[in-house]
Chains A and B, each alone.
Chain A
């Protein structure tokens, strides 16, 4: 029983950690891209990506997108029993989809700015999850 509680604590900590990580990463993407194309269009593209993926990753529906940025508080407060891996996979798909959208709009122009800063962090997240 005691070991179960310890596991739960570890899982909770990991979930929060993954959420913190993606919260920072998505804000970084937001800032880089909004500098290029403005907040209103970034908001539109983020919403578009979330809409597209929320069927496959329902927790993404709790992501709040506004002209001020992105908030993941809805996921934290939602009380959904999510594993860190589930969260990671959902956000990984979201980031990939955003990259696809940016490429479709402006070919390499956005990716050139974004890729060097964001890609190493996505790899870091993958490593963090697999080492869990």
Chain B
């Protein structure tokens, strides 16, 4: 009786830790930290369908072969549950190795027993969880009962995350282009500017405007215009570095935040974008159209902006110069007037 009460208390704290987690990794950590007090296992895994990820929380001595077996088995069981052919190659696997007391696993160990349960909410399977051992018959009925309680809590917490993330997505992304929206841009620019102004690290801004976009809309209609906006958005996203932020500023205008970029680097990126768009044939209303963009670049600390609004204004001035000088070119703000760095 005392044993059960102790286990129930551990179960309560595990559930509490899971339900108060704020992100997926934290849930796995919370479960992983508490479960060794409840079950005798050497590997605990969570498969989340949302991003095809398996997180494994494993005893440090688990050999790679054992880990692979666990991944294969979880994928096989999940495939059976959702009645879809899924292979382990589709999965991104994250392994967190931890010392779990005396549970040493030999280098030749293989998967001998496991418990896997679907993570399901309102009839929808969103993943599965698995306890794994290198010992035969490591689990019994009571383990399954306790593990299913953990599973229910994880599933409902993960479902909250899913809902929260879709609301979050609506709040920060532009629905047409899937780029960040203006609200997010302003928030993020505020943070980046604050960071740079305080530490002195460089920060560049590129403002992009599609040349004669009104003509595309007027001639071919808004559906074709939207298609062009989407294609250009894709080119913008694929022309920048991983840490850069690409946002739709409004209409056919875009702003790119380039943290830690020197003036030279930001000019190179702006020119790369200009050339990529100039060299891409756009299929608009059954004809191939050449579309160009004009770009304005501003920079901290070179242009001495005193606020994020200053940075935007300076990039805007440089963009205006690029338009005035004949479009399809990059202009860098350098006081008035801006200096042209490239042209088509």
Contacts and interface: CB of A to CB of B under 8 A. Distances in A.
A56 interface: no
A40 B125 CA distance: 11
Contacts of B334: none
A104 B152 contact: no
B310 to A, nearest CB: 56
Interface stretch (A18-26, A87-95, A105-113): A105-113
B117 A105 contact: yes
Given A37-B117, A47-B123, A105-B115, A113 B148 contact: no
Contacts of A113: 141
A108 B83 CA distance: 22
B139 A109 contact: yes
A41 B139 contact: no
A36 interface: yes
Contacts of B83: 48, 51-52
B118 A35 contact: no
Interface string B193-226: 0000000000000000000000000000000000
A110 to B, nearest CB: 7
Contact of B148 (A37, A43, A101, A108): A37
B233 interface: no
B333 interface: no
B113 A107 contact: yes
Given A36-B144, A44-B125, A52-B83, A108 B117 contact: no
Given A35-B145, A109-B115, A48 B139 contact: no
Given A38-B152, A48-B81, A51-B83, A108 B137 contact: yes
A101 B117 CA distance: 11
Contacts of B118: 41, 44, 105
B231 to A, nearest CB: 41
Contacts of B113: 107
Q: Which one of B76, B77, B139, B148 has the greatest number of beta carbons of chain A within 10 Å?
A: B148
B117 A41 contact: yes
B140 A101 contact: no
Contacts of B139: 106-107, 109
A41 B137 contact: no
A104 B139 CA distance: 14
Contacts of A108: 137
Interface in B139-187: 139-141, 143-145, 148-149, 151-152
A104 B77 contact: yes
B119 to A, nearest CB: 10
Contact of A41 (B76, B114, B120): B120
Contact of A36 (B80, B123, B148): B148
B338 interface: no
Contact of B141 (A40, A51, A101, A109): A109
A47 B124 CA distance: 12
B328 interface: no
B146 to A, nearest CB: 10
B141 A112 contact: yes
Contacts of A38: 148-149, 152
Nearest to B115: A106
Contacts of A40: 120, 152
Contacts of A109: 115, 139-141, 143-144
Contacts of A48: 81, 83
A97 B140 CA distance: 22
Q: Which one of A47, A48, A51, A110 has the greatest number of beta carbons of chain B within 10 Å?
A: A48
A47 B81 CA distance: 11
Interface of B: 76-77, 80-81, 83, 113-118, 120, 123, 125, 137, 139-141, 143-145, 148-149, 151-152
23 contacts: A35-B145, A36-B141, A36-B144, A36-B145, A36-B148, A37-B144, A38-B149, A38-B152, A40-B120, A40-B152, A44-B118, A44-B120, A47-B123, A48-B81, A104-B80, A106-B114, A106-B116, A107-B114, A109-B139, A109-B141, A109-B143, A110-B144, A113-B141
